[in-house]
Amino acid sequence: MAAVRALLPLLCTALLLPLPYRAAAQEEEDGVLVLRANSFEQALAEHRYLLVEFYAPWCGHCKALAPEYAKAAAKLKAEGSEIRLAKVDATEESELAQQFGVRGYPTIKFFKNGDKAAPKEYTAGREAEDIVSWLRKRTGPAAASLTDVAAAEALVDSSEVVVIGFFKDSASEAAKEFLQAAEAVDDIPFGISSSADVFTKYQISKDSVILFKKFDEGQNNFEGDLTKDNLLNFIKSNSLPLVIEFTEQTAPKIFGGEIKTHILLFLPKSVSDYQGKLDNFKSAAGDFKGKILFIFIDSDHSDNQRILEFFGLKKEECPAVRLITLEEEMTKYKPESDELTADKIKEFCNKFLAGKIKPHLMSQDLPEDWDKHPVKVLVGKNFEEVAFDENKNVFVEFYAPWCGHCKQLAPIWDKLGETYRDHENIVIAKMDSTANEVEAVKIHSFPTLKFFPAGSGRNVIDYNGERTLEGFKKFLESGGQDGAAADDDLEDLEMDEETELEEGDEDEQKLQKDEL
């Protein structure tokens, strides 16, 4: 009766609302609520747990997520869960997107008890199983209590990876450390059991932790001092396959994991000895578990062409191997040998870990006419010589051929080149940063404009002024002062660049907003 009384105000409110409002609140597609500005509040009021995807209809990653998102919604509904999944077209409902700080697509936020002040950002994988596991962690205990064998078997069968703690005393210090580890992991279901039958089923005689998985060895038994940190390291080392394919769904696991050194095998699935090469790669992977993540990419797949471009590879050059570190600055490495045997791959990885491999910097060939036009063309091979010429003031645009804002800037930059074509010490230049890399400058967004003043100091000044011919001229005539970015402005500058990119053309939006 109390529950009915609690619902009366909502029912009365619904009856008083205009019909379109109520219709919008009930709209669904494939079991996923479709929310708009006029139905968002009602959805929050009606559903204690609400996961909301803010998407754009043109976004490739949103399209890839859609079937998995619907599958997760169906699974939860079949279980009778009070968790609901919803979506908002952020291109149509821009005020909602702005309200919740949506800057890329898809952005997924979890609302609990109607609280709009601080929704939790969804950070796990993009497969239905990942979504369901993450939501269960957010709405239930960190580890499910497994009181009998059936419960344990059901948990092990429920996901690709499951962690179970076997503790005779569930209040022991070891069990507490286990539960703290369970709290810290979003995307893997945990269980805990003190049942003698469960111990017998899994042939356990003492307190233990087992990671069950549906790939590679099938399970891993934890060994050592049972602490939260040791458990987290154990899970990190064993929860991903020895070799994982890069796809829309696996990307969050790959980039969101703790292992920041990745070796990539660009392997077309159409190649005749595909399985043999993949087996060699997998054979090498075991020696570097927890240190280097082994990833293979189907180089024939159209969705992966931008990744090949990023590494300076062409389809005809594959199969090929590259290594990258994803720390503050991304650094790429290339093996000396093109052989793809397990021994050669191991040798390359061991040399990298020993610090014996130099970074691989991409460079196009130097065009014969690179200095014959008002805007000089820089590539990796001539950058140092031109940009750090002690007798020249060099203003460089770092661009990407696909970037809409770079295309808009091009005619202005050409006019700037004409203006200073015959100047004795000012050089206007440009470099395609998708095909050329230099150690002295790291580029994070396009276009990036940097000034290299004459002198022996190898100084670099970031430009943060107006992108107009007059703005550029003032900057150059002031010796790089009028329009220069202050040190504490550099982070804001990068954010501004990203914001501008979000307003660009559709292709550019797809690249920037589909960022993994």
Q: What DSSP assignment string belongs to 126-142?
A: SSHHHHHHHHHHHHS-S
Could you give the residue ranges of the DSSP H alpha helices within 165-268? 173-184, 196-201, 228-238, 251-256
User: Catalytic annotation on 318?
Assistant: no
Q: Rounded to whole angstroms, what are the CA distances from 99 to 35, 104, 105, 118, 492?
A: 14, 14, 15, 11, 20
Q: Are 164 and 212 in contact (CB under 8 A)?
A: yes
170: three-class secondary structure by DSSP? coil
Asked, as a colleague might, if the bond just before 141 is cis with ω within 30 of 0, I would say no
State which amino acid sits at residue 250.
T
Q: What DSSP assignment string belongs to 280-344?
A: HHHHHHGGGTTTSEEEEE-TTSGGGHHHHHHTT--GGG-SEEEEEEESSSEEEE--S-----HHH
User: Catalytic annotation on 59?
Assistant: yes
H-helix or E-strand spanning residue 211: strand 208-213
Q: Which of 54, 59, 57 is nearest to 507 (CA)?
A: 59
34: three-class secondary structure by DSSP? strand
User: Catalytic annotation on 406?
Assistant: yes
Q: Which of 474, 439, 432, 445 is nearest to 460 (CA)?
A: 439
Q: What is the largest CA-CA distance in the chain?
A: 88
CA torsion angle 138 140 143 144 (round to 10)? -140
Alpha carbon distance 179, 181 (integer Å): 5
Alpha carbon distance 60, 64 (integer Å): 6
State which amino acid sits at residue 446.
F
Residue whose structure tokens are 């010429």: 389
Q: Name the catalytic one among 12, 318, 349, 403.
A: 403
Ramachandran assignment for 101, one of left (phi > 0), alpha (psi -120 to 50 degrees), beta (any other): left
Distance of CA 500 to the CA centre of its chain: 20
The DSSP secondary-structure symbol of 454 reads: S
Alpha carbon distance 437, 434 (integer Å): 8
User: Catalytic annotation on 349?
Assistant: no
Q: Name the catalytic one among 12, 318, 349, 406.
A: 406
Q: Are 122 and 110 in contact (CB under 8 A)?
A: yes
Distance of CA 2 to the CA centre of its chain: 46
Alpha carbon distance 411, 229 (integer Å): 56
List the structure tokens of 183: 């709290």
Catalytic residue annotation: 59, 62, 403, 406
